[in-house]
């Protein structure tokens, strides 16, 4: 199931009693990065207290809308049309997450997307703590050139087979997390656990178009009606602004932002135009 990359970091004779009893290593692919975007696929590797793999699970999810950057995640409207809705897989997802620490790379993003989907389904996400592998790598003092998943994977010799596919990203992260966990336990490192507070209600803003929609080009995958929408559905017109498109209920700036700091920190930069060289998303996990 996974390569054994823990031999270089032997398991300590005594395991820290304060460490969690189980982990759910998670990756979700989404229609974008904003608060009203949706999950289109999810994968979970369940690990026990010492990081041994118990099982793994993967599903696609019908977002009931434009799937977003198809050139990144590869999931088209046609591929997602027969996929289950989130409320249809929520019970199984709960089984995979319940009683475990959610582990993800830039975990705040995955957690927020998951929490919103549960709230839309009028359910509560069964997660009480999360652990960001970016934060853990900092605690361990790993000599990484940046905070990308590929850099963490390379440090532990993990080979990425299909980047931006939820199942392969979750596998890569699980393979990198296992030796990280053992190194932390051996060194008595405090795990950077953060509390998760589930949403209890949610209301989406009206969906709005993205750059490139009117021309059917590849700006953000062109205009695609929501999955399952009637043929010929047309988007509302965007409001142009300097350097990007202003979305209803919020603002966004395309990658032509004159401010590098704003460019790197603005999540909407990624979702309003194709990233240019130097666009760093996700940013380093604050936790």
pLDDT in tens, 82-93: 999 999 999 999
pLDDT score of 277: 40
pLDDT score of 8: 54
> Is position 9 within any domain?
no
DSSP three-state, residue 44: strand
Asked if residues 227 and 81 have their Cβ atoms less than 8 Å apart, the reply is yes
Q: Are residues 108 and 176 in the same domain?
A: yes
Give the pLDDT band (50/70/90) at residue 113.
very high
Question: Among 27-36, 65-74, 169-178, 259-268, where is mean pLDDT lowest?
Answer: 259-268
pLDDT score of 229: 55
pLDDT for residue 266 is more than 60: no
Q: Are residues 37 and 81 in the same domain?
A: yes
Q: Are residues 225 and 249 in the same domain?
A: yes
Q: Are residues 169 and 228 in the same domain?
A: no
Domain hosting residue 258, numbered range: 206-282
281 or 85: which leads in pLDDT: 85
Q: Are residues 48 and 119 in the same domain?
A: yes
> Is position 152 within any domain?
yes
> Is position 28 within any domain?
yes
pLDDT for residue 191 is more than 50: yes
Q: Which of 195, 218, 239 is the last residue of a domain?
A: 195
> Is position 97 within any domain?
yes
Q: Are residues 31 and 96 in the same domain?
A: yes
Q: Are residues 173 and 107 in the same domain?
A: yes
In angstroms, the CA 32 to CA 37 distance is 5
Question: Among 103-107, 138-142, 199-203, where is mean pLDDT lowest?
Answer: 199-203
pLDDT score of 24: 98
Q: Are residues 191 and 266 in the same domain?
A: no
pLDDT for residue 143 is more than 60: yes
> Is position 10 within any domain?
no
Q: Are residues 217 and 157 in the same domain?
A: no
> What is the residue-averaged pLDDT of the chain?
78
**Sequence-distant contacts of 9-16: CB under 8 A, at least 24 apart:** 9/179, 9/182, 9/183, 9/186, 10/182, 10/186, 11/50, 11/182, 11/185, 11/186, 12/182, 12/185, 12/186, 15/49, 15/50, 15/185, 16/185, 16/188
Q: Are residues 152 and 28 in the same domain?
A: yes
Q: Are residues 229 and 187 in the same domain?
A: no
pLDDT score of 260: 37
- When divided into structural domains, the chain yields a total of 2
pLDDT score of 202: 74
Q: Are residues 188 and 218 in the same domain?
A: no
pLDDT for residue 178 is more than 60: yes
Q: Which of 195, 215, 246 is the last residue of a domain?
A: 195
pLDDT score of 204: 72
Q: What is the pTM of this model?
A: 0.72
pLDDT, mean of residues 49-53: 97
DSSP 8-class letter at 120: H
pLDDT for residue 215 is more than 50: no
pLDDT score of 226: 53
């Amino acid at each position: 199931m996974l390569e054994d990359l823990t031999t270089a970091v032997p398991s300590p004779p005594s395991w820290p009693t304060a460490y969690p009893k189980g982990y759910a290593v998670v990756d979700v692919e989404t229609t974008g990065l904003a608060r009203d975007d949706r999950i289109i696929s999810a994968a979970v590797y369940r690990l026990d207290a010492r990081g041994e793999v118990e099982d793994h699970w993967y599903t696609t999810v019908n977002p009931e809308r434009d799937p977003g950057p198809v050139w990144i995640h590869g999931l088209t409207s046609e591929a997602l049309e027969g996929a289950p809705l989130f409320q249809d897989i929520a019970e199984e997802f709960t089984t995979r997450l319940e009683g475990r620490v959610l582990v993800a790379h830039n975990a705040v993003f995955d957690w927020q997307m998951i929490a919103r989907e549960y709230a839309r389904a009028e359910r509560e996400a069964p997660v009480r703590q999360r652990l960001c592998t970016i934060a853990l790598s900092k605690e361990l003092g790993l000599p990484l050139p940046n905070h990308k998943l590929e850099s963490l994977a390379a440090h532990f010799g993990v080979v990425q087979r299909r980047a931006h596919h939820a199942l392969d990203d979750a596998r890569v992260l699980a393979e990198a997390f296992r030796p990280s966990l053992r190194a932390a336990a051996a060194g008595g490192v405090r795990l950077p656990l953060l509390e998760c507070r589930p949403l209890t209600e949610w209301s989406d803003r009206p969906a709005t178009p993205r750059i490139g929609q009117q021309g059917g080009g590849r700006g953000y995958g062109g205009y695609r009606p929501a999955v399952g929408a009637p043929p010929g559905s047309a988007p509302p017109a965007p409001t142009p602004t300097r350097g990007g498109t202003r979305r209803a209920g919020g603002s966004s700036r395309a990658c032509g932002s004159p401010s590098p700091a704003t460019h790197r920190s603005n999540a909407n930069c990624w979702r309003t135009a194709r990233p240019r060289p130097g666009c760093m998303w996700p940013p380093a996990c604050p936790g």
